């Protein structure tokens, strides 16, 4: 890999996301508003790296890996923060962490072993999984639910937040919770399909 790839614009955006995430973690127990702002910035930048990769013709496998690992680590960090704020939710948080890691890593390995140009190109499998990766609006909607629900839970864990923000977060979570569950249901489907595909690809290669 050429060293210059490390400094491609999409990858620089990825590094910025990581910095924002660590700033968010720094403020997790100090300021709920600062945590939310930095976390939101990190997620917003997630939409920019793909646009930059296409605009500047700088799409790389390293960039795809960086994007996926950053996504997974930010989700893990958020769920760990939730388990700290809500000790009774620790087991649930760890379940979703394990599911998220297993499903995405297995899926990426399966796609790479099949020769797919991108882990987002689904040639076969359940329609729901194909729809998730082909319909951008649906993917974005579920990602908002997957990230927004725990973010609102986080803000609600503080008695010091403004009553209006508390009311908004409470009302939002009625709509975000089903999206959160749907996203992780797709993760479960993704893991099952990828696990089967890995063995199938290996047998074809032999």
Q: Is 100 assigned a catalytic role?
A: no
b/e map 21-39, b = 16+ CB within 10 Å: bebbbebbeeebeebbebb
> Is 186:132 a contact under the CB 8 Å cutoff?
yes
Rounded Cα distance between 24 and 69, Å, is 17
> Is 42:74 a contact under the CB 8 Å cutoff?
yes
Q: How far, CA to CA in Å, does 148 sit from each of 109, 143, 178, 180? A: 28, 8, 11, 8
Name the active-site residue from 46, 49, 67, 71: 71
Give catalytic residues, as residue numbers.
71
């Amino acid at each position: 890999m050429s060293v210059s790839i490390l400094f491609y614009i999409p990858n620089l955006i990825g590094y910025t996301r990581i910095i924002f995430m660590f700033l968010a973690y720094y403020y997790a127990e100090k300021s709920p508003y600062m945590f939310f702002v930095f976390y939101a910035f990190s997620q917003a930048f997630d939409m920019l790296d793909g646009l930059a990769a296409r605009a500047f013709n700088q799409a790389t496998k390293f960039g795809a890996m960086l994007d996926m690992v950053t996504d997974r680590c930010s989700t893990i960090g958020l769920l760990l923060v939730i388990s700290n704020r809500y000790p009774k939710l620790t087991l649930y948080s760890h379940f979703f962490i394990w599911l998220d890691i297993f499903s995405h890593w297995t899926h990426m390995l399966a796609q790479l072993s099949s020769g797919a140009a991108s882990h987002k190109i689904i040639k076969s499998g359940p329609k729901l999984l194909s729809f998730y990766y082909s319909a951008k609006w649906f993917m974005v909607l579920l990602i908002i639910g997957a990230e927004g629900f725990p973010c609102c839970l986080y803000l609600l864990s503080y008695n010091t937040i403004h009553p209006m923000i508390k009311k908004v977060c409470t009302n939002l979570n009625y709509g975000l919770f089903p999206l959160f569950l749907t996203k992780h249901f797709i993760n479960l489907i993704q893991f099952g399909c990828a696990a089967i595909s890995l063995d199938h690809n290996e047998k074809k290669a032999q």
